Structure 1
């Protein structure tokens, strides 16, 4: 895993841990706490999925740019 992937994973884990700890220390009933944890978990999962999709799109764009550059350079030498 490259550094960017490690950083994104660490940030996501930190956000998740902070959200869960904040909910656990809130003075709510157990059922309300479980509901909040469930909602936060869904939000975090959605955000992580979006982040990975954006990263995947960027990598695909980079791949296309590299392929284009390689083709152009190959044509120059042909």
Structure 2
């Protein structure tokens, strides 16, 4: 998108230059045309800059929101996995306690 806009601005500048070279006008008219064309090019550049910065800002905001969502999903999944691991370890600990009781009784 930026390349297309750059090409449009470049085309405008080249067209203006060629138009000045082939147009038989007075110097005052040529200067007036240059000012007008320069103003148009400046306005296009300012608008293009604003559009690009707005697009980048929206992309950044969207990226932040996606990252937050993914992190939140990760926390939920990690919490579930942790809970399963704790439950498994508690069961194994209970089995070990039972085995240990049998050793204590035989002595």
Greater Rg over alpha carbons, structure = 2
Q: Moved runs in structure 1, 4+ residues, more than 6 A?
A: none
Which has the higher relative contact order, 1 or 2, with Cα contacts under 8 A spaced 6 or more apart? 2
What is the TM-score of this pair, normalised by structure 1?
Answer: 0.83
CA RMSD of aligned residues (A): 1.4
Cα shift at 1:24: 3.1
What SS does the aligned partner of 1:32 have?
helix
Question: Normalized against structure 2, the TM-score is what?
Answer: 0.63
Structure whose residues are more often helix by fraction: 2
1:62 and 1:17 map into 2 onto residues whose CA distance is 33
Total equivalences in the alignment: 75
Partner of 1:24: 21
Structure 1: gaps (5+ residues): none
Is it true that 1:53 corresponds to 2:62 in the alignment? no
For structure 2, list consecutive stretches of 5 or more residues without a partner in the other structure.
76-107
